[in-house]
Structure 1
């Protein structure tokens, strides 16, 4: 039986091939890591629920996209139905880091007019000796894109949960503020059968009882 959830967020992972998107997802959803992984063909799906605050459980539908150019026409069709995106690069690859802006720009062109929330992920932080992208440079890019930055390692299980939880909380807060809303024909955010009302009605004033 499925765990009850109040909202479902569709999240997409973006970035060059071999930056470790699949490893991040498998660590986050299954708690496992493998040094050997087959390249993603098209799109793979994962899911996990998070209790973002007491009584509010959010189901994440996670889309792992192929980074190769030949699959780009397949993955672009998934952009429109996503509310959040992880822009992932490999900390040991200058090339993957330099492609982040291209990924961000490409998605932004497809998701209008709805809002999409991003987070920048510097992956493979365990490979410190092979690092090619300084933290300060990555943080500068994140600031330029207006997004948060987190460094992760699927191998060491470092900051993996934190990355997904941070993005989920940011989306949820924008929902509460009314900047992101559910609507017909868009699957980025869906309400569950047991949806908690974000703004519960004020309790009715109790009638005063005179103890005369």
Structure 2
């Protein structure tokens, strides 16, 4: 009985994966969740994953929604965005156009949430394909700086920085929740006497 109660009180961090089709959102998610690399590309409609993780010594749950990058799913994205607490915006370092599309995803997220400070990380995936690279790190860093977010390069194939991006985003989400709690419940022990 006590075990179920503890399970329910674990903090839950909701992450949404966004980006163009074929940039490796599902590959990153599956590598993080199961340690598997999926070579073939199978367009996603929307898949949800949840697992218990330890974040800075504290048990919590991560909920990852892997969204479709294809344009035909744009209409249902708004609903997904509303449920997200943080976003990994993924592009392929081998495809300049996928970096350009990240602006559209960010604009749509900010329009739906109306919140510039939502936890957000720009992710350049497929760095293992260095010989096919089209996007210099300086371009992505400049964009991340413009957005006021972090930029991280990953490889779903080699697992480079995969755990790191999810951990970084969970920290941002957790810290933001704590900040909001403190704003909503300032020092509970203090009192104010009105005369």
Asked if Structure 1 and Structure 2 have the same fold, meaning a TM-score greater than 0.5 normalized by the shorter chain, the answer is yes
Query: What is the Cα-based RMSD across aligned positions, in Å?
Result: 2.4
The whole-number CA distance in structure 2 between the counterparts of 1:80 and 1:154 is 27
Kept after mapping to 2: 8 A contact 1:83/1:115: no
TM-score (normalised: structure 1): 0.79
How many residues are paired up?
A: 183
From 10, 19, 26, the counterpart of 2:23: 19
TM-score (normalised: structure 2): 0.86
Partner SS state of residue 173, structure 1? helix
Match of 2:192 in 1: none
Whichever structure has more helix as a proportion of its residues is: 2
1:127–1:81 CA distance, 2 compared to 1 (3 A): same
The whole-number CA distance in structure 1 between the counterparts of 2:100 and 2:181 is 30
Greater shift, 2-11 or 70-79, is seen at 2-11
Match of 1:53 in 2: 56
Distance apart, 1:114 and its partner CA? 9.0
Kept after mapping to 1: 8 A contact 2:28/2:162: yes
1:179–1:88 CA distance, 2 compared to 1 (3 A): farther
Match of 1:111 in 2: 113
Distance apart, 1:113 and its partner CA? 5.5
Match of 2:193 in 1: none
The whole-number CA distance in structure 2 between the counterparts of 1:17 and 1:57 is 32
Runs of 5+ unmatched residues, structure 2: 190-195
Look at both structures and tell me which one has the larger radius of gyration over its CA atoms: 1
Partner SS state of residue 54, structure 2? strand
In the alignment, structure 1 residue 83 sits paired with structure 2 residue 85: yes
